[in-house]
């Protein structure tokens, strides 16, 4: 037992000496966030503590991992969707593009003239030209035989702004069956909200060269503005008056005539 007590005392003193050496570099000031005089008292053989060892309870350390109970914000990934859209929302809080001055974005994501901008917002070219082609037919009447064939020719018109509207003014002139003069006067409006060409034919003429007959025509000349900047449409006209040699004016109900076809026009450079 005496030997045990002897070595036990030596072990205690060695432990104390080792701890004192380790802690020799610590001053009486705060060390790594640990205030002096805090920790666990080490007592070896006496009632009074020899020194203090800082514990986890008074040492502040940065966490090296996130606890399961912590709130974690996961970023939301949003992929913009625009496709062919020129403007409007991309579905992620952004825009697919911006329209130019005097333009507005439609619900389908395309820019168009702003009708509220007046004539300044109607930026279409003023002068247009193109071609038309179609067919015509004239019924027989007494000694005058029926006739029919193809029509083709040129289209020329202007779009002039008045009271925030584009007014159509022009003509389609050509030939029917290669020999009969054919012409249609054009009026109407271009609607910038719908890009529709609301053309009308208030008057037109088909001259039957072989018989000398003259037929007055009226009808429609609609079209629509295309993505490439052209105007494409159709036309249809019916006889409203017919005058034949010797006989004079005849009832168009008994002498019907009509013509229909397609047309295309482009801005004049």
Domain harbouring 142, CATH code: 2.40.160
Rounded Cα distance, 104 and 117, in Å: 10
Which positions ≥6 away from 13 have C-beta within 8 Å? none
Cβ(59)–Cβ(32) under 8 Å?
A: yes
Range with the poorest average pLDDT among 105-119, 171-185, 213-227, 228-242: 105-119
Rounded Cα distance, 244 and 259, in Å: 19
Distances in Å between the Cα of 80 and the Cα atoms of 87, 91, 93, 105 are 13, 6, 9, 18
Residue that is last in its domain, among 66, 89, 113: 113
Question: Residue 28 has what pLDDT?
Answer: 45
pLDDT digits (tens, 9 = 90+) for 34-74: 444 445 454 445 445 444 555 544 444 545 555 656 666 77
Confidence of residue 7 (pLDDT cuts 50, 70, 90): very low
Cβ(153)–Cβ(180) under 8 Å?
A: no
The verdict on 105 and 206 lying in the same domain is: no
The predicted model gives 135-147 an average pLDDT of: 88
Question: Residue 145 has what pLDDT?
Answer: 86
Q: Residue 96's domain spans which residues?
A: 75-113
Question: Residue 193 has what pLDDT?
Answer: 77
Confidence of residue 114 (pLDDT cuts 50, 70, 90): confident
More reliable by pLDDT, 44 or 148 = 148
pLDDT at 27 over 70: no
Residue that is last in its domain, among 113, 137, 162: 113
Confidence of residue 120 (pLDDT cuts 50, 70, 90): low
Is residue 168 a part of any domain in this protein?
yes
The verdict on 217 and 99 lying in the same domain is: no
Question: Residue 111 has what pLDDT?
Answer: 87
Is residue 58 a part of any domain in this protein?
no
Is residue 17 a part of any domain in this protein?
no
The verdict on 79 and 101 lying in the same domain is: yes
Q: Quote the number of domains for the chain.
A: 2
Question: Residue 21 has what pLDDT?
Answer: 46
Question: Residue 22 has what pLDDT?
Answer: 44
The predicted model gives 219-236 an average pLDDT of: 96
The verdict on 152 and 237 lying in the same domain is: yes
Confidence of residue 224 (pLDDT cuts 50, 70, 90): very high
Rounded Cα distance, 220 and 186, in Å: 9
């Amino acid at each position: 037992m005496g030997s045990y007590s002897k070595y036990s005392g030596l072990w205690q003193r060695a432990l104390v000496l080792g701890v004192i050496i380790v802690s020799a570099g610590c001053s009486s000031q705060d060390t790594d966030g640990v205030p002096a005089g805090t920790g666990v008292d080490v007592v070896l053989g006496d009632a009074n503590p020899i020194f203090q060892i800082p514990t986890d309870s008074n040492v502040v350390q940065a966490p090296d991992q996130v606890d399961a109970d912590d709130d974690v914000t996961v970023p939301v990934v949003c992929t913009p969707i625009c496709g062919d859209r020129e403007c409007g929302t991309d579905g992620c809080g952004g825009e697919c593009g911006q329209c130019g001055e005097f333009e507005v974005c439609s619900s389908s994501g395309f820019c168009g003239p702003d009708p509220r901008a007046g004539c300044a917002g109607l930026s279409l070219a003023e002068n247009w030209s193109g071609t038309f082609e179609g067919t015509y037919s004239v019924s027989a009447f007494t000694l005058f035989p029926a006739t029919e064939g193809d029509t083709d020719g040129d289209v020329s018109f202007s779009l002039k702004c008045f009271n925030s509207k584009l007014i159509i003014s022009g003509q389609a002139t050509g030939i029917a069956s290669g020999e009969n003069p054919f012409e249609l006067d054009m009026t109407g409006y271009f609607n910038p909200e719908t890009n529709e060409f609301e053309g009308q034919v208030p008057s037109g003429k088909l001259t039957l060269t072989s018989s000398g007959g003259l037929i007055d025509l009226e009808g429609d000349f609609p079209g629509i503005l295309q993505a490439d900047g052209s105007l494409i449409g159709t036309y249809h006209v019916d006889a409203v008056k017919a005058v034949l040699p010797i006989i004079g004016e005849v009832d168009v109900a008994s002498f019907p005539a009509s013509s229909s076809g397609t047309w295309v026009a482009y801005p004049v450079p």
